[in-house]
Amino acid sequence: LDLQWKNTDFLKELGFYGSYHQDPMNQLIHFIFIPLIWWSINVWLCYLPPLGLSLTVLGHKVTWGTLMLLIYVGYYCALDTTSGLAFAPVLTVMYLLSYRAVSKERERNGTLKSKGKEPPYWSWGKVAFVVHALGWIMQIGPGHGHYEGVKPALMDSLGQALGVAPLFAFLEGWWMMGGSPETAAAVGELVLANR
């Protein structure tokens, strides 16, 4: 992964975000809950066709969730091709899980309604709401409030925090496993300068 880490703006983005995430417990909380927040938003968006249009590509119904996946992968590849391509399969799996859950729920509800039965009260949208709320509570409460002791990055740059957070959480996991030590060190130096 170190081959294309020469984008200094990208390193600065990581350094900015990393300066808010130095405590190992806070890092673990973010590593778990940022992907879950991304997944929960994607679940909600998988219920919605873009602009109310019914588009199908190669038998796959396009939703706002599809567009969210494409936007994030495109953005990450523009920031850094190697890390964007490395993270793309993770985002794609989360998208496919979201898409499949919503599709199966729609099929089930359609079958029940055709038999004159009411669908169950629970839905993947409601599950996503609980997961989403829990993700934010864990990051802001124990993550930043207790372990890190600093405000979340989104308080200083909402767009940057929401855009870079999923990729940063992925990269922190990669770095913890020993991947890209030179990049981890470069970002570490920027973190110290920002902190």
Element holding 167 (H helix, E strand): helix 158-176
What does the alpha-carbon distance between residue 86 and residue 82 come to, in Å, rounded to a whole number?
A: 6
Q: How confident is the model at residue 46 (pLDDT cuts 50, 70, 90)?
A: very high
Cross-strand pairs, 61: 56
Q: How confident is the model at residue 8 (pLDDT cuts 50, 70, 90)?
A: low
Query: What's the confidence (pLDDT) of residue 7?
Result: 54
Report the percent of the chain where pLDDT is more than 90: 49
The residues, ordered by sequence, that sit 6+ positions from 140 with a Cβ below 8 Å of its Cβ are: 152
Q: How confident is the model at residue 124 (pLDDT cuts 50, 70, 90)?
A: very high
**Better pLDDT: 161 or 74:** 74
- State yes or no: pLDDT of 10 exceeds 90: no
Query: What's the confidence (pLDDT) of residue 15?
Result: 86
| Average pLDDT score over the chain | 88
Task: Give the tens place of pLDDT for each residue, 52-88.
Answer: 888 888 888 999 999 999 999 999 999 888 889 999 9
Assessment of whether the complete model's pTM goes beyond 0.85: yes
- State yes or no: pLDDT of 93 exceeds 80: yes
Query: What's the confidence (pLDDT) of residue 6?
Result: 47
Query: What's the confidence (pLDDT) of residue 163?
Result: 84
What does the alpha-carbon distance between residue 57 and residue 73 come to, in Å, rounded to a whole number?
A: 18
Query: What's the confidence (pLDDT) of residue 129?
Result: 98
Average pLDDT over residues 11-28: 86
What does the alpha-carbon distance between residue 170 and residue 187 come to, in Å, rounded to a whole number?
A: 14
Residue listed under structure tokens 């207790």: 146
Please report, for residues 63, 119, 140, 149, 176, the alpha-carbon distance to residue 68 in angstroms, rounded to integers and kept in the order given. Answer: 9, 28, 24, 32, 28
Structure tokens at 81: 């091709």
Helix, strand, or coil here: 19?
coil
- State yes or no: pLDDT of 94 exceeds 50: yes
Cross-strand pairs, 56: 61
